[in-house]
Amino acid sequence: MRERENEVLDRIRRGQLYTESEANFQDPLRRADLIFEYNSTRPGDAPRRRKLLERILGSVGARTVLLSPFHAGFGSNVHIGDDFFGNVNLTLVDDMEIRIGNGVMIAPSVTLTTTGHPIHPGLREDFRRFSKPVVLEDKVWIGSNVVVLPGVRIGYGSVIGAGSVVSRDVPPMTVAMGVPCRVVREITDVP
């Protein structure tokens, strides 16, 4: 059995297709009950919320604020740096790693997804899918209702405008927006 699991994990790492049935051995890594508990915890109970986040996420930095509710497929594949702020309704589809740097701010109703599905319906049997990591480098700011798709890296200090769908990498120190998301200018202003 272990050999089959390793073969599936290898395909997942390479961004190749795999099915729900093939990947179900990973279900113990899901943190659904803990996420439910976090979302039900009083906002003022910071120590309890912090302990839960440490159990839910793969790693979590200092001075992290994550407002409820948030959702994650696993939780254990998410790594957040220091000084993070995540507003309400953050959805993390973390079949693969999501890495969030230091000083990142995320507005309400943002989705970061590492997973997509084939376009052809014949290839979507048993919820067949592919996964690629998502990376938000330090000091990124993501506006409301943004969707970041599998395999995207958003560079240091960049700003993603509200309502954008980010389907390709965004270079550092730029403002990008739209559907599809495109760079509209560099950030050159000095505070």
The pLDDT score that the predictor gives to residue 26 is 86
Report the alpha-carbon distance of residue 92 to residue 71 in Å, rounded: 6
> Is residue 191 a part of any domain in this protein?
no
Report, as residue numbers or ranges, the catalytic residues.
117
pLDDT at 56: 97
pLDDT tens digits, residue range 111-134?
Answer: 999 999 999 999 988 899 999 999
Check pLDDT > 70 for residue 141: yes
Rounded to whole angstroms, how far apart are CA atoms 84 and 20?
Answer: 32
Report pLDDT digits (tens) over 13-69. 999 999 888 888 888 888 999 999 999 999 999 999 999 999 999 999 999 999 999
Confidence tier at 191 by pLDDT (50, 70, 90) = low
Q: Tell how strand 59-60 and strand 78-80 pair up.
A: parallel
When divided into structural domains, the chain yields a total of: 1
Span 2-16, average pLDDT:
90
pLDDT at 1: 63
Long-range contacts of 114-121 (CB under 8 A, 24+ apart): 114/77, 114/150, 114/151, 115/73, 115/150, 116/149, 116/150, 118/17
Is the confidence at residue 190, as pLDDT, over 80? no
What pLDDT does residue 126 have? Answer: 87
Residue % of the chain over a pLDDT of 70: 99
The pLDDT mean for the chain works out to 95
pLDDT in tens, 87-115: 999 999 999 999 999 999 999 999 999 99
C-alpha span between 68 and 38 (Å, rounded): 8
pLDDT at 181 over 80: yes
pLDDT of residue 102: 98
Domain of residue 160, residue span: 2-186
The CATH number of residue 57's host domain is: 2.160.10.10
- Its pTM stands at 0.94
**pLDDT tens, position by position, 153-163:** 999 999 999 99
